[in-house]
A = this chain, B = another copy of it.
Amino acid sequence: MPNKKFPIENKNKITRIAKRGHYDKKTIYSILDETLICTLAFVRDGIPFQIPTLFCRIGNTIYIHGSVGAGYMRLFDDEKIPVNISVHLLDALVLARSAFHHSANYRSVIIFSQPKPITNKKKILQILEVLTNRIHPNRWNDVRAISKKELLATKIIAFPIQSASAKIRTGPPIDDEEDYNSKYWAGIIPIETKREKPISDPKLNPKIKIPKYLKK
């Protein structure tokens, strides 16, 4: 990583509780890689719109895929349209002694970008492989491969990360000094997001068992 940090600019600067702001690529990339869904925001006729979608990161670029027929995918043919991409992970609820200091432990990232449609077929296949393996590692090697027709129906948009910042809160509640002797319980309630055991499609041939790589 030649530049380890995104420059702090007006638009990506964390102004509210500045110490929670992070600009280094390692931190930002790790949050992105742990999140499956991002939210794309863009402006149409002066009004903000949002689209939640699966995504992957390769290097300093976010990729999404969709149908060539989707309206918002066509919108991203305009490489000048500013797009904001956000992800967030909720790690814990933070219960302070005072109502005022209740909070959440979270990791969020905001990205500023502009779209670049990908047209190279080889590159599209590479990205679809990464996207599919985000759904589950190794899945790409155990599926009926993309057909030519399906490839033509699939659109991939790249969003190079032009500017970004992360905001992170961790740790126990922070109360006012005089509240630490109060009678109220304080602490955190961790939020756990887990992949449960796979459930076979009711239409699956009963001879096909759940493959090993899906049981991890």
Question: Judging by beta carbons under 8 Å apart, are B188 and A198 in contact?
Answer: yes
Question: Judging by beta carbons under 8 Å apart, are B187 and A144 in contact?
Answer: no
Interchain CA distance A70-B20 in the complex, whole Å = 14
Q: Which residues of chain B come closer than 8 Å to A82, judged between CB atoms?
A: 46-48
Question: Judging by beta carbons under 8 Å apart, are A194 and B192 in contact?
Answer: yes
The copy count of this chain in the complex is: 2
Question: Judging by beta carbons under 8 Å apart, are B193 and A192 in contact?
Answer: yes
A57 within 8 A of B: no
* A36-60 interface (Cβ within 8 A of B): 36-37, 39, 41-43, 46-50, 52, 54
A32 within 8 A of B: no
Question: Judging by beta carbons under 8 Å apart, are B188 and A70 in contact?
Answer: no
Question: Judging by beta carbons under 8 Å apart, are B199 and A185 in contact?
Answer: no
Which secondary structure dominates chain A's binding surface? mixed
Question: Judging by beta carbons under 8 Å apart, are B16 and A71 in contact?
Answer: yes
* A108-145 interface (Cβ within 8 A of B): 108, 110, 112, 128, 132, 135-136, 139-140, 142-145
**Residues of A near any B CB (own CB < 8 A):** 11, 15-16, 36-37, 39, 41-43, 46-50, 52, 54, 66-67, 69-72, 82-86, 88, 90, 93-100, 102, 104, 106, 108, 110, 112, 128, 132, 135-136, 139-140, 142-147, 150, 154, 172-173, 179-205, 208-211, 214
